[in-house]
Structure formats: C-alpha cells, structure tokens
Amino acid sequence: MSTQRSPRTARRGAVLLAALAALLGLALAACGGSGSSGQPSAQAPPPQTLTVSAAASLTEVYQGLAQQFQAANPGATVKFNFGGSDQLAQQVVQGAPADVLATASSKTMQTAVAAGKIQGEPVIYATNKLQIAVAPNNPKQVAQLADLNKPGVTSVVCAPAVPCGAAAVAAEKAANVTLKPVSEEQDVKGVLTRVETGNADGGLVYVTDVKSASGKVTGVDFPQATAQGVTQSYPIGVVTGSQNAQLAQSWVSFVTGPQGKAALQQAGFTTK
C-alpha cells in the first residue's frame, strides 16, 4: 500500500506548521524583554534636570560632585547657576527657577529663609576662610593686609554685599587696616581673575579659590583670616516649590554626606 500523502493533506500540514511557527514567534516576541532570569527588564528612569544655584566659590567642587551624582542617579542632569550669594538669594526670592540654593554665608541664605523660599532649616556643611591671592612667587612681597596699601601695589576685593566682601570688611576691621581697592567684584571668581590676569597685585579670596587656580596665583595667609566674622559658613537647602524636590533632597544629602565631604576637604574647605 502506498504511504504517499495526497496534495490536499500536504497543504493542510503546511498550513498547520505555518500557524504553529507564527504562534511560536509571537510567544518569543512577548518574552523578548526578559533577561536570562526570566524577569522583565527595568524601564529607564525619566529624565530630570536639577537646577542648583550656588556660590561662585563652590564652582569646581560642585562640578566634580555633579559627575558622581549623575552616575549614581540615571536620568538626572545637574544644571548650575553660579554667582554671588546675595544675587542668587534675591533671584530665589523673586521666583527664579531653582531646586537647590547653596550660599557662602548664613546671612545671605537667611534672605531666602525669611521669604519662605527654603524648605525646613538649611544645613551648614562647610566653612571657608580668606587668603591674599598674589602673583606667583609674590613679586610685590605681600605678607599681610597692610601690604596691599603699599605704594605700587593694587588690590581688589568683593563688594561688601557678597560674603567674601563682608569677610574682607571684617578682616580689615580686625587688622585695623582700610584697603583702597581698584575694584569691588560681584563674586570671588571676579577677584581671582583680576589677580590671575595681572590687573591687580593682590586680592582677598578664599583658600579654596587659590587652590583651584592651580599655580596661577600664590596664597598668603594672614592672622585676621580666623577672626570673628571673617570665616564663612556654607548652608544649603531645597527651594520651596521645587518641581524636583525629591531629587533636590538627594543632592543635599549627597553634598553633605561622605562623598561630598571628601570632595570638599580635597578642595580646601573645612567640613562640619
């Protein structure tokens, strides 16, 4: 007896095989998102942009910390607004978009706190002190504040409203010296740039700024740098109404935590 199938039976078998193959393909496609463990892969977190308004003296250390923070928080991008603390606080009070405010003095932070623009109590996490920044090798032989008034020596400071300017005023009072600066800058980086470019022989900046200049200036210590009102405290807080409050709090915790402290100490800050 012949075992050869009829053409009709062969066609039916081919159709059945095609249907089974299609069903198998659909099943595999449905499982395509599963890993080797059989568990569905996690979805990528939605992108978030965190806006941090921070004192100019925090520029380098914050930029370095942002890279670590972004690596630990996929989808997060940290955007900075660096400047004078007084201006930053006023911007926050006036409603400028910001998730975090970090100033170089408690006084400037209090401006935002008093306006109800900071959630809870700001955290003071670091301090900074002044140095006299001069050209490399100190060609004008500046050894103390009074030397900035010597003939042929030009000096520059921050404006009194800025924390580094308020610290300079306190240092002058403690040293019984009245400086005659050729300019008053709106933030400490402006003072540093003046000295770096040779547009001033000396300027009052923070020790962290001298360190960040990488040899472009020399720092001169002076006794009054530790006097009352000269050393500045650095507070940080989440801005009220932040659209990224949870991520903002994560940044605050990161900056004030072990990784933040290590970076701040390496930059020359004293941490709390």
Judge whether 260 lies within some domain.
yes
Judge whether 52 lies within some domain.
yes
Q: What is the pLDDT of residue 4?
A: 47
Residue 149 and residue 160 in one domain:
yes
pLDDT per position in the chain (272 positions), as tens?
444 444 444 444 444 444 444 444 444 344 444 344 444 445 777 899 999 999 999 999 999 999 999 999 999 999 999 999 999 999 999 999 999 999 999 999 999 999 999 999 999 999 999 999 999 999 999 999 999 999 999 999 999 999 999 999 999 999 999 999 999 999 999 999 999 999 999 999 999 999 999 999 999 999 999 998 999 999 999 999 999 999 999 999 999 999 999 999 999 999 98
For residue 267, the one-letter residue type is: A
Residue 135 and residue 198 in one domain:
yes
Q: What is the pLDDT of residue 152?
A: 96
Residue 160 and residue 222 in one domain:
yes
Residue 109 and residue 242 in one domain:
yes
C-alpha dist (Å) from residue 65 to 151, 214, 257, 269: 43, 19, 11, 14
Q: What is the CATH number of the domain that holds 110?
A: 3.40.190.10
Q: What is the pLDDT of residue 45?
A: 75
Residue 210 and residue 248 in one domain:
no
- Which structural domain range is residue 79 located in? 48-127+233-271
Judge whether 117 lies within some domain.
yes
Judge whether 33 lies within some domain.
no
Residue 68 and residue 199 in one domain:
no
Judge whether 87 lies within some domain.
yes
Judge whether 58 lies within some domain.
yes
Residue 139 and residue 109 in one domain:
no
Residue 219 and residue 248 in one domain:
no
Residue 64 and residue 117 in one domain:
yes
Residue 175 and residue 118 in one domain:
no
Judge whether 263 lies within some domain.
yes
Residue 146 and residue 105 in one domain:
no
How many domains is the chain built from? 2
